[in-house]
Amino acid sequence: MHLTQHLRGSLANKAMGNSTPATLEQPSLVSFSEHQRIDIDTPADGEASGLGNSNPATSDFEALAVHRYKLGVSVGFGGIIMIFAALTSAMVVRSGLSDDWKSFGLPSVLWFSTIALLVSSFTVEKAKRALRNSNENGLRTWLAVTTVLGVAFLVSQWMGWLNLTERGLYLAANPSHSFFYVFTVGHGLHLLGGLLAVGYVTGRVWCGHHWVTRSAAIEAAALYWHFMDVLWLYLFVLLLVWR
Amino acid sequence: MATEVAEHLEVHRHPEPTNFWTKYIFSIDHKVIGIQYIILAIVAVFVGMALSLLVRLRLVWPDKPIEILGTLFPVGAPEGVMTPEFYLAMLTMHGTMMVFMVLTTAPQGGFGNYILPIQIGAADMAFPTLNMLSFWTTFVSFVTLCAAFFVQGGAPIAGWTAYPPLSALDEATIGGYGQDLWLLSIAFFCIGSLLGALNFIVTTLQLRAKGLTMMRLPLTVWTWFVTAILGLLAFGVLLSAGVLLLMDRLGGTSFFIPGGLLVNDIPIDHTGGSPILWQHLFWFFGHPEVYIAILPGMGVTSHILATFARKPVFGYKAMVYAVVAIGALGFVVWGHHMFVSGMSPYSGFVFSVLTMCIGVPSAIKTFNWIGTLWGGKIRFTTPMLYSIGFVSLFVTGGISGIFLGQPSVDLFFHDTYFVVAHFHLIMGVAAIFGMFAGVAFWFPKFFGRMMSEGMGKVHFWLTFLGVYAIFGPMHYLGVIAHPRRYAETTSVDYLGAAGANEIHYFVTMAAMITVTVQCLFLINVVWSLFKGKRVTSDNPWEATTLEWVTATPPAHDNFEGRIPTVNHGPYEFSVPGAPRDYVMQCNAPDAAPARKSGE
Ligand code: HEM
Ligand SMILES: [Cu+2]
């Protein structure tokens, strides 16, 4: 992946004085600030040549990348929130409009899902702390635990769906089940995306790679993971109350 | 400049792709992706226009055989006579093509992609790979939509708004997979647009050049930015609604299908769903969507009017606030599409008042455009003409909107040709004039050659008069209560007595001429690519923003390893005391002596 990054912040301030003074006779002279940008090509093997943490410029760059990735993920929350807000309002309207709504008991395995996801939020936070403290061992461990918990969550959701089908509660049997499937599958797909991201960084960290956007990737994945956790808590409460 | 080398980082140039595939097809360069979006839109717009001609032909000669159609569509047009279902299918595909594949792609994904990073002094979008993914997702959506023509049952007939139960039940149509593909296509489109919106927002927030504060952004950037926010918040809702409708069709659920329904004497085995729920979800997306289509055109118009009137945009700040206000209010007026859905009169009243509120920022924009032109040293170039045309169309379409926004009036006008006239003028044609203006204005930057002014002016006048000839009379059709979406009205007495048949004839003729004239635009583009006058400077229009200081066409990384520093506001034209009548954003701070920068 090629990333073209503009480095601003402290470095840019240093370069501020560089703009070409233009005189009124030559107003077309353009003021440029030179060399504020570094372009990063992540080497395929993930080894960032000479871009260790010792280089202050690199850590500036890393800070910028962290900011950008986290901003990207946060903006994405807006879109995801609207997806689930639309579904929520659809459920409120659909259940209020007609009398064919039949409540059903949620599969109890969902409590296990919930606990697994809550714990995984805690572990991914631990991984982030380890990253910030340059504790490579901690980072490896906590990332791996998070991945395992993520997989456990999805398996547990799968068992929840199996439980419903065993009870004959299929997708179309009643709108309450329809919405249950829509919400849980919708959340599951978004979480799967997060799991792929977490799994990817975990894999690379375990292989000992130090790529330049490593912190950014881990921080962004952690942020997304927390969001998946909060989203699930919201959906779980919603389904408990409104089933 | 080069004295402080020690302070500088080693610059790794973003490697320029050398291979054909990574350079032109799976490119991550925002400029290439922008052009890809524009090409997609051009293909779609010609498909859409061809469909509209079929619709127009059927309205005037409902039972006249057209041989070629019989060969092409043996089912939809047996022996060359279009069936009513075929008419509806063409209408549906026309609307979908135009609204999604043209009006949503080119203004934002096309021009925004190409120009926004350059105007803010960035080397690319914030996430170039994601940008490529957005385009290809949109491309898959386009292909999926086109596939609907060719599957069993043919293209869907439920209109671009896909109201259930018609869109949900095969019993109500010929059946087949057309509607499923339509929904799938829309789902892809939503995903592509969401990813694109995310990229635009992060890019605008994070990659602005030194000195480019938000209040120094060109209005084009402001409108792309606000459009991205609208897209981010609107497309998720359409995605959700589309998935639910698809499940009603394929999974047997009853989200939108009511109970006790009898269709073509077939009892429908569903209970309790709500077709009105679809309307709410659709229009919650749909109204912001119409602004997604028009806002970039507003930005381009403001930009071009200032450039060729040689005056600063009148009331720059008011323009920014108006764009933001339109974006925000756009989310609370969706109910005006549903006045006749049986909603409570109180809700209707609230939606009506909120709708009128949107008129205020819209009027502010219009007055500021006129204020920008007022007393300017106007240069009537082709982009300028298109932009003035935009203002005209926007005003005409906006006035009919005020009528429609009142529930009591809309009771009569809803689902008549008055609505068709309204939204074609304001959304369809105005946004397309914004694109014409954009092409004519930025063509020299894209390709290093000017477009032919002669051909451009002929095209402008013929198109401008043509669209008024097409959509003007439709207001009258609405007034005589001519319903929309009917395949055949030639034998309806009350319409015939009021002259509807002659008007349809006139409109169809005008449409055929206007569509033909569009070939002139295409010819102009192709001719200018090879034979157009070469630009002699990087800034042929004597404009102020950053895209005019880069090379022509811009280098792979836009500014060749440097980034401009911004010292001035975006529209510093005719600054008193300055040696030239324009000051570029990146000119030295003292280049504009009399006016404070940033105003
Ligand atoms: C002054 C501002 C505006 C007002 C008061 C207004 C009002 C309305 C109303 C009340 C309707 C519903 C008519 C009906 O179906 O009975 C409508 C339809 C429509 N408007 Fe506007 N509008 C305004 C501006 C715009 C703009 C700026 C656009 C697009 C750029 C737009 C695009 C549309 C479209 C596409 C439809 C029809 C959708 C359909 O039924 O297929 N309008 N407008
Ligand atoms: Cu609307």
Residue B239: pLDDT band with limits 50, 70, 90: very high
Stretch(es) of chain B classified as CATH 1.20.210.10: 24-256, 274-286+301-534
Q: Which of A7, A75, A80, A97 to mutate to test the interface with B (most CBs of B within 10 A)?
A: A75
Cα angle A206, A209, A214 (rounded to 5 degrees) comes to 100
DSSP lists the bridge partners of residue B449 as B534
Fold of the B274-286+301-534 domain: Cytochrome C Oxidase; Chain A (1.20.210)
Predicted confidence at residue B598, as pLDDT, reads 45
Predicted confidence at residue A211, as pLDDT, reads 87
Q: Which residues of A176-188 are buried (b: 16+ CB within 10 A; e: fewer)?
A: bbbbbbbbbebbb
Minimal-distance CA residue to ligand 1 atom 33: B423
Instruction: Name residues with Cβ closer than 5 Å to ligand 2, which is an ion.
Output: B 287
Fold of the A57-242 domain: Four Helix Bundle (Hemerythrin (Met), subunit A) (1.20.120)
DSSP lists the bridge partners of residue A33 as B563
DSSP B485: S
Would you say the CB of residue B424 lies under 6 angstroms from ligand 1? no
Containing B364, the helix (H) or strand (E) segment is: helix B345-373
Q: What is the pLDDT of residues B97-143, one digit of tens each?
A: 999 999 999 999 999 999 999 999 999 999 999 999 999 999 999 99
| CB contact (8 A) between residue B12 and residue A79 | no
Q: How far apart are the first and last CA of chain B?
A: 29
Residue B591: pLDDT band with limits 50, 70, 90: confident
Q: How far apart are CA B208 and CA B116, in angstroms?
A: 10
- In this prediction, the residues of chain A whose per-residue pLDDT falls under 70 are 1-58
Residues sharing a CB contact under 8 Å with residue B81, sequence separation 6 or more, in sequence order: B63, B64, B65, B66, B70
Q: How far apart are CA B292 and CA B295, in angstroms?
A: 6
In the predicted structure, residue B35 carries a pLDDT above the cut 80:
yes
Are residues B424 and B484 in contact, defined by beta-carbon separation less than 8 angstroms?
no
Q: Which of B199, B210, B282 to mutate to test the interface with A (most CBs of A within 10 A)?
A: B210
Least confidently predicted of A51-65, B11-25, B258-272: A51-65
Containing B339, the helix (H) or strand (E) segment is: none
In the predicted structure, residue B551 carries a pLDDT above the cut 60:
yes
Report chain B's C-alpha Rg in angstroms.
25
Peptide bond into B361 cis (omega under 30): no
Residues of chain B with pLDDT > 90, as a percent, come to 87
Predicted confidence at residue B26, as pLDDT, reads 92
The class (CATH top level) of B24-256 is mainly alpha
- A23, with CB counted inside 10 A (0-12, 13-18, 19+), is exposed
* B142 CA from centroid of ligand 1 (Å): 25
Predicted confidence at residue A190, as pLDDT, reads 98
Are residues B298 and B434 in contact, defined by beta-carbon separation less than 8 angstroms?
yes
CA atoms within 13 A on the CB side of B315: 18
Closest by CA position to B93, among listed B169, B144, B23, B20: B144
Residues sharing a CB contact under 8 Å with residue B425, sequence separation 6 or more, in sequence order: B393, B396, B397, B400, B467, B471
Probe ligand 1: pick from B289, B336, B420, max atoms within 8 Å of CB?
B336
Size of interface A-B (CB pairs under 8 A): 211
Q: What is the pLDDT of residues B37-76, one digit of tens each?
A: 999 999 999 999 999 999 999 999 999 999 999 998 888 8
DSSP lists the bridge partners of residue A4 as A39
Mean pLDDT of chain B: 93
Pairing of strands B266-267, A2-6: unpaired
Least confidently predicted of B62-71, B223-232, B296-305, B438-447: B62-71
Would you say the CB of residue B107 lies under 6 angstroms from ligand 1? no
Q: What is the pLDDT of residues B423-461, one digit of tens each?
A: 999 999 999 999 999 999 999 999 999 999 999 999 999
**SS3 at position B82:** coil
Are residues B306 and B313 in contact, defined by beta-carbon separation less than 8 angstroms?
yes
**Which two structure tokens, joined as six digits, stand for B34?**
């922008």
Predicted confidence at residue B216, as pLDDT, reads 96
Are residues B444 and B481 in contact, defined by beta-carbon separation less than 8 angstroms?
no
Minimal-distance CA residue of chain A relative to B17: A2
Predicted confidence at residue A54, as pLDDT, reads 42
